[in-house]
Amino acid sequence: MRDEQLHAFLNLARARTSVDARRRRRWLEQQLDEDQTFAAVCRGMADAGARVELSVASGRTYRGAVVVAAAEYVAVATGDAEVAYVAAAAIVGLRHLGGAVGGDPPAVVRAATFDDVVHGLSERHAVIAACTVDGTAHRGQLAGVGRDLLWFDDGRYLRLDVVTEVTTP
């Protein structure tokens, strides 16, 4: 075998190896993409402090930074002191708006479940807007939370299982 043939053979082998490596990399990337979950995307956005737009079944949208991404809810800091806590089942979609949000996020309730978030807000006697599955926003000072309901200081009661969003001004 002459040197020219040997070099041609080696070049062909390198090209095939390179093509095979790219094919394997694309296959692995596809597997990672297919294993991706919505919760993982939200956690990634929270870790990055990314600006997002969260669309909710009620028709509302929240723009800001994801500050908590738990299994049952996502919290988005939408302003200086405003946080929207949205039940995961009510989230329609999330869009990355690019860039990161600077500064310190507002104080948020970090809890395992959406109901625990509402309980945490009641301990602060927070002024909230509680949105229900029908899209109605009930605003007022949160007076308390029971096992399956919340109530405002003006005597209004809501079942917890119909509350899908809670925002704090």
CB of 155 within 8 A of CB of 149? no
Q: Give the CA angle between residues 87, 119, 123 to the nearest 5°.
A: 140
Asked if 30 and 59 sit in the same domain, the reply is: no
Confidence of residue 105 (pLDDT cuts 50, 70, 90): low
Contact present, 131 and 120 (Cβ < 8 Å): no
| Chain segment 52-70, per-residue pLDDT in tens | 999 999 999 999 999 999 9
Same domain, 96 and 72: yes
Strands 149-152 and 83-87: unpaired
pLDDT of residue 33 exceeding 70: no
The range of the structural domain enclosing residue 77 comes to 38-168
pLDDT reported for residue 62:
95
pTM of the prediction? Answer: 0.76
Statement to judge: residues 44 and 30 lie in one domain:
no
Q: Look up residue 146 and give its two tokens.
A: 């029971």
Residue 4 clears pLDDT 90, i.e. is over it:
no
How much helix, strand and coil, in percent to the nearest 5, is found in the chain?
Answer: 35, 40, 25
